Structure 1
Amino acid sequence: MEQSASPRPPAGMRWIGGAFFALALAALLVHFSTKYGLNVPPSATGDEPSYDSIGWELSHGRGYRIDYTNPDFLAPYLEASRAADPPLPVPEGRTGPTAMRPPLFPLVIGATDLLFGRQFQAIRVVNCLAMAATCGLIAHVACRYAGLIPAIVLAGGFLVLDVRTRLYARAILTEALACLLVAGMTAALLRYRRTGGWGGLVAAGLCLGLAVLDRPMLIVWLPVVAVLVPVCRVPRLSRGVPRLCEPCVVAVVFASAASVVIVPWMVWNCVRLEAFKPLGTQGMIELPAGFSDRAWENGGIWRLQSADDCLASVEAQGLTGLAWEVALADCRRELAVGWMRENPVRSLLLGLLKIGQELWPRSVWQGVLLVLAVIGIVTAADRRVVLVLVGIIAAQLLAIAMTWSVEGRFMVPLQFPVYILAACGLGRLLAFFGVPAAPSPGINSNIR
């Protein structure tokens, strides 16, 4: 019978998670306040205004829609535009109901707008809290599994050296919340590995469900992680349950906890769109960006879609709102699927190109992180935990291969498992050179 995968850290080491959470939160808030300002509007040319608009409409009870013509919504963008030389662009685009954005982040924005009115600082504080909590979890779990020195180095690197932490803590985008939810899921699975308690398993499923509501591409994770969950630790159930059924019970508990969160949104999408589109319309509308001649020329990197025959056809029908999105999604899905059928080899190679684009380090720190994570994968003795962490990473790489690359952005939700593996790799390197990393052996011990 398996024992706990790692002993409880000594009392003197239990403060590290909270300390890094407080340090990260203070550092991020002070940095953003002094360098940029917390209440400045985001860029009007990316995804941020759409989340901002949906949140604003929700806070006023007008439903799940975008309205770039609302004067209260536009006021801060216009003020920022007039103050700049040359003037900055302001949000432009379609107005009306939408199913292109997932619901969790707009709901959080709507809650902050309801509480504080028209502003941007509250949602940025939420993002800073999410990134700071991720930093604290990295420190705490890395300390348990790899030691105090690797925990300090990796949590410090996450805060100071990883530009993605600062970028996505400030951007009004889904990445910060996704980071925290994936960290919560992974930490809950590691707790389940140590204790065998069902609470950790249910918490992991709920975190994944919320993560899907934040970033729908993570739906690909559900079957992958559900298969991996029994690898963590399969408890001995009652005598009436055949031993071969135990892994199935564990997987079903995890998948059910996630589905409780995900399924109502899927049903809502299908009902309001009057079509089987449980994840909304964005994925299908953007699918040619991942599978087309242009995607091949771009090496699988997403580019803003230009006008095409599908858009012309939908515009010619005079459709608006959700009907416009459904028609465009259907047309572009057929376009992308047709290209894949005609180009099966290129489709497979595109998947590999997209994965390579996301994994490729874009800074020295990202390169160091990748090397340390590979060392951790190869050398850590607790292969079950390594398999789970690598499986979570592989699930996201599969999702990337099925969609498109954004030059590293889709790797941001994987910060926690990557940093934990890197901490274990650093712990092994320190041990190789005779430097004691910690009194707690954790993942780097082969405890049966």
Structure 2
Amino acid sequence: MMDTMIDMRWRSNKIALAIFVLALLVRVSYNLTVAAHYQPLHDSAQYRDIGLHIVQTHCFCLHGNIPTVGRAPLWPLLIGLLSLLFGPNDLFVRLFLCVLDAATCLLIYLFARRLLTERLALVAGMSAAFYPNLFIYTGWLYSETLYTFLLTAFCYLLYRFQRERTLLLAVASGLLPGLLALTRPNGLVLLVLFLVWLLVMGWQRLFAWRYVGRMLVLVPALALLLIVPWTWRNYLVTQRVLPIATGDGTVLLGSYNDLISQRSWDQMTWLNPLTSVPGISRHFPLYTCDARCEIGREELYKDYALLWMQTHLDKMPSLLTAHLANMWVPDAHEADLPTDRFTNQISTRVVLVLMRITPWPIYLLFIAGLWFTRRRWRDLLFVYGVLLVTIAQNIAFYGIPRFRAPIEPLLILLAVAALPSLLKFSVAAKRFRI
């Protein structure tokens, strides 16, 4: 019996390693073909420049020695550390993203193995390895891949914590929200979501209330342990309490303005305020706006965006509906995405075709998976919460396929979870016909 268990565990470990290696090969191949001539532009260049400033001048700065609070710190810091090891060549940063995304595929496999069966876990891991809407983001220097990895790890560890409740899992559950927030400011919402989840677990008597109380103290304390030093840094450069980063004003004003509201639904996304609302944005310098200036700019932008919403209530339903719809467009198109910059390559055309086709069966199976897993809602409550929070944020700000990236692993997981019930239904239908 013991030998059988050891053999099964060894077989599972080999499958896990194979999925990681396969996913890594797919992502490295993508970077050496489609993204072979990639050079950072737009947000990628900003992340890179801040990262290089951190290690070269010891300043979290974008332009010169002017401190900025416009970006969350974790991703630029990692870029800077990688430049110390391998030099400023962005290829090594993208290879690091390949490893991270391959690890995300491994997490999907491990999650599915505990939630479903070994065979279905293999399907989930293989699907993730070849899923283009995951690996395309390894070809540029945005924070999507890092955030997706951390969010998938958080969901998986909480699923395990619900059963094992070890100290190690408890500590990880506290550190991951902090890392998520330091990657993107909206990661703070996940800490609130965790606390709500914890209270529901107590209400359902899955956790003793004494245990819930301890976790309500431990997890926020660990998250704040990571976040507070950065908040203090922001206070020193702005004299304002700013937990992570600013930028919500730019997002809101770029999403809610006259130019955006006059577009077709598939173009109702975001337009830089420098273009969409130049009369407001011209009051602030483009390259010499320091941290305090950024705070003032974002507050003014936010005020104008909220005023626009209040005075254009008739436009809001169509905008919010467009935000929801645009989130689910299958293929991502961004100015800095390699698949948009190098469209003449055969490898790019292949990936573009896959991007347009593969999400549709995932969507359909995902919807079925939501229904078929409804009786296991306690096991998947946090996953459901992450899905709802992500969709709500995209509706409130603006929706594009890139903002769907963090929940792509969860879509795959629930899609695979639908397969056993669908197979049973198919077999029953055949017997009925006979």
Partner SS for 2:283: helix
Count of equivalent residues = 391
| Equivalent in the alignment of 1:148 | 118
Unmatched 5+ stretches in structure 2: 332-355, 429-434
Partner SS for 1:301: coil
Q: In the alignment, which of 246, 250, 255 is matched to residue 220 of structure 2?
A: 255
Q: In the alignment, which of 250, 275, 279 is matched to residue 285 of structure 1?
A: 250
Relative to structure 1, the CA distance from residue 309 to residue 31 in structure 2 (aligned partners, 3 Å threshold; closer, same or farther) is: closer
Relative to structure 1, the CA distance from residue 230 to residue 349 in structure 2 (aligned partners, 3 Å threshold; closer, same or farther) is: farther
Residues 215-260 of structure 1: CA deviation (Å, up to 9, x unaligned): 22222222123201344576655xxxxx4x6545434433333232
Q: How does 1:160-309 map to 2 (within 5 A)?
A: 160=130, 162-231=131-200, 237=208, 243=209, 247-298=212-263, 299=265, 300-305=268-273, 306=275, 308-309=278-279
Separation in structure 1 between the aligned mates of residue 365 and residue 134 of structure 2, nearest angstrom = 19
Identity %: 23
1:352 deviation in Å? 4.1
Separation in structure 1 between the aligned mates of residue 68 and residue 229 of structure 2, nearest angstrom = 17
Separation in structure 2 between the aligned mates of residue 176 and residue 184 of structure 1, nearest angstrom = 12
Relative to structure 1, the CA distance from residue 177 to residue 369 in structure 2 (aligned partners, 3 Å threshold; closer, same or farther) is: same
Relative to structure 1, the CA distance from residue 36 to residue 401 in structure 2 (aligned partners, 3 Å threshold; closer, same or farther) is: closer
Unmatched 5+ stretches in structure 1: 1-6, 69-94, 238-242, 436-448
Q: Which range moved further: 250-259 or 283-292?
A: 250-259
Relative to structure 1, the CA distance from residue 235 to residue 277 in structure 2 (aligned partners, 3 Å threshold; closer, same or farther) is: same
Residues 142-192 of structure 1: CA deviation (Å, up to 9, x unaligned): 1232223332333222222x2222311111110111111011101110101
| Equivalent in the alignment of 1:29 | 28
RMSD: 2.9
| Equivalent in the alignment of 1:42 | 39
1:41 deviation in Å? 4.6
1:366 paired to 2:359: yes
Q: How does 1:316-355 map to 2 (within 5 A)?
A: 320-344=289-313, 346-347=315-316, 350-355=319-324
* TM-score of the two chains, using structure 2 as the length reference: 0.81
* TM-score of the two chains, using structure 1 as the length reference: 0.79
Counterpart of 2:23, as a letter, is: A
**Alpha-carbon contact 2:38-2:140 (below 8 Å) kept:** no
Counterpart of 1:55, as a letter, is: G
**Alpha-carbon contact 1:146-1:427 (below 8 Å) kept:** no
Relative to structure 1, the CA distance from residue 9 to residue 281 in structure 2 (aligned partners, 3 Å threshold; closer, same or farther) is: farther
**Alpha-carbon contact 1:314-1:327 (below 8 Å) kept:** no
**Alpha-carbon contact 1:289-1:404 (below 8 Å) kept:** no
| Equivalent in the alignment of 2:106 | 136
1:125 deviation in Å? 1.5
Partner SS for 1:66: strand
1:60 paired to 2:47: no
Q: How does 1:398-417 map to 2 (within 5 A)?
A: 398-405=392-399, 407-417=400-410
Residues 66-111 of structure 1: CA deviation (Å, up to 9, x unaligned): 248xxxxxxxxxxxxxxxxxxxxxxxxxx83322111111000100
1:433 deviation in Å? 3.7
| Equivalent in the alignment of 1:441 | none
Counterpart of 1:125, as a letter, is: L
Counterpart of 1:326, as a letter, is: I
Separation in structure 2 between the aligned mates of residue 344 and residue 224 of structure 1, nearest angstrom = 29
The structure carrying a bigger helix percent of its residues is: 2
Q: How does 1:87-106 map to 2 (within 5 A)?
A: 96-106=66-76
Relative to structure 1, the CA distance from residue 312 to residue 67 in structure 2 (aligned partners, 3 Å threshold; closer, same or farther) is: closer
**Alpha-carbon contact 1:131-1:176 (below 8 Å) kept:** yes
1:114 deviation in Å? 1.3
1:387 deviation in Å? 2.3
Q: Which range moved further: 115-124 or 127-136?
A: 115-124
1:369 deviation in Å? 1.0
Relative to structure 1, the CA distance from residue 346 to residue 246 in structure 2 (aligned partners, 3 Å threshold; closer, same or farther) is: farther
| Equivalent in the alignment of 1:112 | 82
1:25 deviation in Å? 1.2
1:376 deviation in Å? 1.5
Counterpart of 2:379, as a letter, is: V
1:157 paired to 2:153: no
Separation in structure 2 between the aligned mates of residue 236 and residue 394 of structure 1, nearest angstrom = 23
Partner SS for 1:278: coil
1:138 deviation in Å? 0.9
